[in-house]
Structure 1
Amino acid sequence: MTSLAVPATLQAASKPAAAAPPVFGPRIIIGLVGVLLAVLVSGLNEMVTKVALADIRGALAIGYDEGTWLVASYTATSVAAMAFAPWCSVTFSLRRFTLCAIALFTLLGVLSPLAPNYESLLLMRTLQGLAGGALPPMLMTVALRFLPANVKLYGLAGYALTATFGPGLGTPLAGLWTEYVSWRWTFWQIIAPSLLAMVAVAYGLPQDPLRLERLKQFNWRGLLLGFPAICMLVIGLLQGNRLDWFESALICWLLGGGALLLVLFMFNEWSQPVPFFKLQMLGIRNLSFALLTLAGVLVVLLAVIIIPSGYLAQVQGYRPIQTAPVMLLMAGPQLIALPLVAALCNVRWVDCRWVLGIGLSMLALSCIGGSQLTSVWIRDDFYALQLLQIFGQPMAVLPLLMLATGSISPVEGPYASAWFNTVKGLAAVVATGVLDALTTARLHFHSTMLVDRLGNSPLADSDTPGLAHRLHQQAVVLTSSDLYLCMAGVALALILLIFWLPTRVYPPRAPT
């Protein structure tokens, strides 16, 4: 496997004097932990406010539509920032850019619940998404740049926590703040960990020199095309289900215009000497496979959070705090499972493709088991399914990171980081849009079928108390089962790709 130490990234833009690489030690580890903490907090901020949105809307006296724009605007700028943050970190230095992003993210989090009106809150959430989205690429860059070869996979395992550990904490924390403290803490929860992350980053990461000369070669056309393209597509996907997709002129304009700008952006990147995205890298089989599979895996990982949460809320009437144990059983053990999977992949004779296949099989088995749910299932019935997720998730994510970074040269490292983080952000948005559309379609289908069967039954009595509620509950059950089966199909399809797309890669340096 090619060692992916990322020195001053994007060396093609300019060639500064080579600096001695920092010595790996406790300070670097502290800096890496600081960036990891900031990235986890950024992800939690989005998840918690999304889960607690009903309480936030009630406290601020805003409607459902306004609440969806708070989510969409934050996510749009967050995903867009992932594409362009690597360039900024090289120009303004990794340490300085990371500290500024954390500081802005924290300040806006403090001010958000104090906003005097909805418009100012929307503006602050949009800017906070921009700052929060700039952080995940920094985590991958730090792990690849500063960690020695034999522990590089453990750094990538830290990055994988953002896809496995972080999302599962959203529901428990939202339940904690809204039930026992205050809705404002869904925003303020970031303060203490963000300040701690800033101290760790300031102490642990070395200070690179400014490279402001890169501004002369800045890809302005790429920014003006790519940033609005990503924002329009994200907002269109998140608002599509609410506005009935292509029946809405706004959605047609957002998705159509965003797709056109994205195509122009890609044409521009192909010919740029220093692009934000190096399209030629898609010819690397392992990288293309990792990006495609990552998108599918994230759809499944998001589904195994949304489906049980939605079922328990709509059928059993659970609040987020009551759903929390199901999510914690899946998320908590990731802190142990991910290092163990990293140690397994770091053994030279272990083929990470087989690890990936086993992980996807566990995800598929969990979803097949979930498809058997009935209206009598309660929280405890989901525990066995979540146990399969404990090792299934890290075994499905970490090998993808290994495949993505193991077949490229060091100079291409920042380009790979931009691809991986942007695809990761877009995949989560696509997953949300797809799940919303599937849920609505199947819920309408099952509701119609149940009403038709009831109407054709000679024993049916439309005046039965609670009949409409019971029909809706049964439609939710059948819809949840369908979604689980769809996710199992996605996982099985991804397993089939392993047999012909990726090639074998080895750990940077196998332990002896």
Structure 2
Amino acid sequence: MSTLVQTPSAVAAAPSAKPVATPFGGRIIVGLIGVLLAVLVSGFNENVTRIALADIRGAMGIGHDEGSWLIALYAAPSVCAMAFAPWFSVTFSLRRFTLCAIGAFMLLGLLSPLAPNLHVLMLLRALQGLAGGALPPMLMTVALRFLPANIKVYGLASYALTATFGPSLGTPLAAFWVEYVGWQWAFWQIIPTSLLAMAAVAWGLPQDPLRLERFAQFDWRGLLLGFPAISMLVVGLIQGERLDWFESTLITTLFLGGGLLLVLLFINEWFHPLPFFKLQMLGLRNLSFALFALGVVLFVLLASSMIPTSYLAQVQGYRPLQSAPLMLWVALPQLLALPLVAALCNLRWVDCRWVLAIGMGMLVLSCGIGSHLTSAWIRDDFFVMQMLQVFAQPMAVLPLLMLSTGSIAPPEGPFASAWFNSIKGFAAVLAGGVLDALTTARLHFHSSMLVDRLGNNPLALDGQGAGLAQRLHQQAVVLTSADLYLYVAVIAAALILIIPFVPTRIYPPRAA
């Protein structure tokens, strides 16, 4: 397979403006590691406002509603940046753009805990989300542009690491800093690794020339339509559950306005000579399937991490740091599991579609075990489920990367990168919104059923103290968690059923 990220031939450029041809060697490996470190700390940083939100609110004197906007205002520009960053990296050069993104990301993280008020903190977090969201596409670009064909799959594995290892490790790290050092270090933890990443990128990646002539074909209309469209939809999904979805005028406006702008964006992108999103590429079966399956996989992975931690917090009273080993059981073995899965997928006789099916099957089994959850479960009872996910997660993510890039011609590379990364970012937010809605619906259902049973059996109330309401809530949480595991298992199983029929087989770039 040729490079995924070469400049499209549709863009006229002088010969001197072409990307620098760089032989593979130690410097490229160092550069790749630098970008990987930057993307990983970007992933860690996403969990900061979720894990440390109570401490941030207490330190800055802000309420729950205001605090929820910190999450939304970070996620929206982050998803937008994933969509538009590939174009700017080609124009300003990969090395220069990556260094600027890491530097801005680090500086904004340094300033965030020093914000004098909530509004300044929101602005800093929004700008940091923009810088952090620009980094994941750069990792895919570096891996597929510079790595030789026979090890290109390992480059994809490094990108997959950010979807499996990064989120699982980010939660324990944030919990550790908040518990033992101080809430400010939940923000400042990124600084040492970002400095190391900048040094590695500056030394390891070649410097391409500026390609400012690309602005002659810049898709201004696409940017002006796409940025608010994506932002409105992301904010609507994150705030929807808190504001009761379409019962809220704000949420209704965000969804309708974002949906309309998105339609206008796609119409513009269809006719633009150099769009951010090339809609014609959705006619490629493997790419379309990979984008759809990515949303399903991210939903399953998000549920697999959120359900047990929420259960342990609400039923067993665990603090975030006490739930951290649950995430570490999955995160740390990924460092071994991902290279092994990459080596398997790099064998010519191995069909990555069946690797995907087996990985999804293991996720189904893991969630099926979770559907038997009871109020007696503690952290160690989740061990078998988490161990199944050690190999299930990379086996589900890496084949999707191969399917989405394996049949793409070099000129289509930047468009495929924009599609994959923007769908990855948006699907994660969508999965969170769907999971929140399902959780609330099932929690209300089980709470009502339990109350009705007690009301129909007055003798069961004898001797019950003031803690009855709390015990009812805990039991409703247990039943809801079991239901969610079952739903997730069914969704994952449904994806397995279409794998033999939709995607076509692709081979690794060159047999190992």
Instruction: Please indicate the TM-score interval, normalised by the length of the shorter structure.
Output: over 0.9
| 1:474 counterpart residue number | 475
Q: 1:11 aligns with which of 5, 9, 27?
A: 9
1:213, CA displacement in angstroms?
1.0
The answer to whether the Cα contact below 8 Å between 1:233 and 1:255 also exists between their aligned partners in 2 is yes
| 1:107 counterpart residue number | 107
1:174, CA displacement in angstroms?
1.9
The answer to whether the Cα contact below 8 Å between 2:4 and 2:408 also exists between their aligned partners in 1 is no
The answer to whether the Cα contact below 8 Å between 2:285 and 2:502 also exists between their aligned partners in 1 is yes
| 1:339 counterpart residue number | 339
The answer to whether the Cα contact below 8 Å between 1:74 and 1:129 also exists between their aligned partners in 2 is yes
The answer to whether residue 210 in structure 2 is matched with residue 210 in structure 1 is: yes
1:111, CA displacement in angstroms?
0.3
Q: Secondary structure at the match of 1:376?
A: coil
1:19, CA displacement in angstroms?
5.3
Determine the C-alpha separation between the residues in 2 that align with 1:304 and 1:224. 36
| 2:61 counterpart residue number | 61
The answer to whether residue 156 in structure 2 is matched with residue 162 in structure 1 is: no
Scaled by the length of structure 2, the TM-score of the pair is 0.98
| 2:312 counterpart residue number | 312
Cα shift readout 1:127-166 (whole Å, capped 9, x = no counterpart): 0000000001111011111111001000000000111001
Q: Secondary structure at the match of 1:382?
A: helix
1:460, CA displacement in angstroms?
2.4
The answer to whether the Cα contact below 8 Å between 1:171 and 1:323 also exists between their aligned partners in 2 is no
1:20, CA displacement in angstroms?
5.4
The answer to whether the Cα contact below 8 Å between 2:225 and 2:262 also exists between their aligned partners in 1 is yes
Determine the C-alpha separation between the residues in 2 that align with 1:237 and 1:458. 41
| 1:392 counterpart residue number | 392
The answer to whether the Cα contact below 8 Å between 2:19 and 2:209 also exists between their aligned partners in 1 is no
| 1:348 counterpart residue number | 348
- Count of aligned pairs between the two proteins: 509
| 2:491 counterpart residue number | 490
Determine the C-alpha separation between the residues in 1 that align with 2:52 and 2:213. 45
Higher alpha-carbon deviation: 168-177 or 218-227? 168-177
Q: Secondary structure at the match of 1:24?
A: coil
The residue type paired with residue 82 of structure 1 is M
Determine the C-alpha separation between the residues in 2 that align with 1:51 and 1:491. 27
The answer to whether the Cα contact below 8 Å between 1:312 and 1:318 also exists between their aligned partners in 2 is yes
Determine the C-alpha separation between the residues in 2 that align with 1:194 and 1:14. 35
| 2:44 counterpart residue number | 44
**5+ long unaligned stretches in structure 2:** none
| 1:27 counterpart residue number | 27
Determine the C-alpha separation between the residues in 1 that align with 2:171 and 2:469. 29
Higher alpha-carbon deviation: 458-467 or 292-301? 458-467
1:283, CA displacement in angstroms?
0.3
The residue type paired with residue 330 of structure 2 is M
| 1:251 counterpart residue number | 251
Closer, same or farther: CA 19–257 of 1 in aligned 2, 3 Å = closer
The residue type paired with residue 3 of structure 2 is L
Closer, same or farther: CA 5–413 of 1 in aligned 2, 3 Å = closer
1:359, CA displacement in angstroms?
0.1
Cα shift readout 1:42-75 (whole Å, capped 9, x = no counterpart): 1110113311211111111111111110000000
Determine the C-alpha separation between the residues in 2 that align with 1:249 and 1:5. 43
Determine the C-alpha separation between the residues in 2 that align with 1:327 and 1:209. 42
The answer to whether the Cα contact below 8 Å between 1:101 and 1:135 also exists between their aligned partners in 2 is yes
Determine the C-alpha separation between the residues in 2 that align with 1:50 and 1:24. 40
The answer to whether the Cα contact below 8 Å between 1:4 and 1:406 also exists between their aligned partners in 2 is no
| 2:238 counterpart residue number | 238
Cα shift readout 1:157-184 (whole Å, capped 9, x = no counterpart): 0000111001111221122111110000
Determine the C-alpha separation between the residues in 2 that align with 1:16 and 1:483. 56
Cα shift readout 1:295-343 (whole Å, capped 9, x = no counterpart): 1000000011100000000000000110011110011100110000000
| 1:427 counterpart residue number | 427
The residue type paired with residue 447 of structure 2 is S
Higher alpha-carbon deviation: 169-178 or 72-81? 169-178
Determine the C-alpha separation between the residues in 2 that align with 1:222 and 1:244. 31
The answer to whether the Cα contact below 8 Å between 1:34 and 1:197 also exists between their aligned partners in 2 is yes
| 1:136 counterpart residue number | 136
Identity of aligned residues (%): 73
**5+ long unaligned stretches in structure 1:** none
The residue type paired with residue 147 of structure 1 is L
Q: Secondary structure at the match of 2:459?
A: coil
| 1:438 counterpart residue number | 438
Determine the C-alpha separation between the residues in 2 that align with 1:91 and 1:295. 30
Determine the C-alpha separation between the residues in 1 that align with 2:168 and 2:377. 20
Determine the C-alpha separation between the residues in 1 that align with 2:483 and 2:236. 25
The answer to whether the Cα contact below 8 Å between 1:49 and 1:187 also exists between their aligned partners in 2 is no
Cα shift readout 1:423-464 (whole Å, capped 9, x = no counterpart): 000000001100100000100000000000010013122761
The answer to whether the Cα contact below 8 Å between 2:4 and 2:405 also exists between their aligned partners in 1 is no
The residue type paired with residue 344 of structure 2 is L
Determine the C-alpha separation between the residues in 2 that align with 1:278 and 1:468. 54
1:6, CA displacement in angstroms?
2.7
Determine the C-alpha separation between the residues in 2 that align with 1:20 and 1:227. 31
Closer, same or farther: CA 403–222 of 1 in aligned 2, 3 Å = same
The answer to whether the Cα contact below 8 Å between 1:3 and 1:406 also exists between their aligned partners in 2 is no
The answer to whether the Cα contact below 8 Å between 1:222 and 1:268 also exists between their aligned partners in 2 is yes
Higher alpha-carbon deviation: 48-57 or 231-240? 48-57
Q: Secondary structure at the match of 1:460?
A: helix
Q: Secondary structure at the match of 1:197?
A: helix
Determine the C-alpha separation between the residues in 2 that align with 1:397 and 1:229. 27
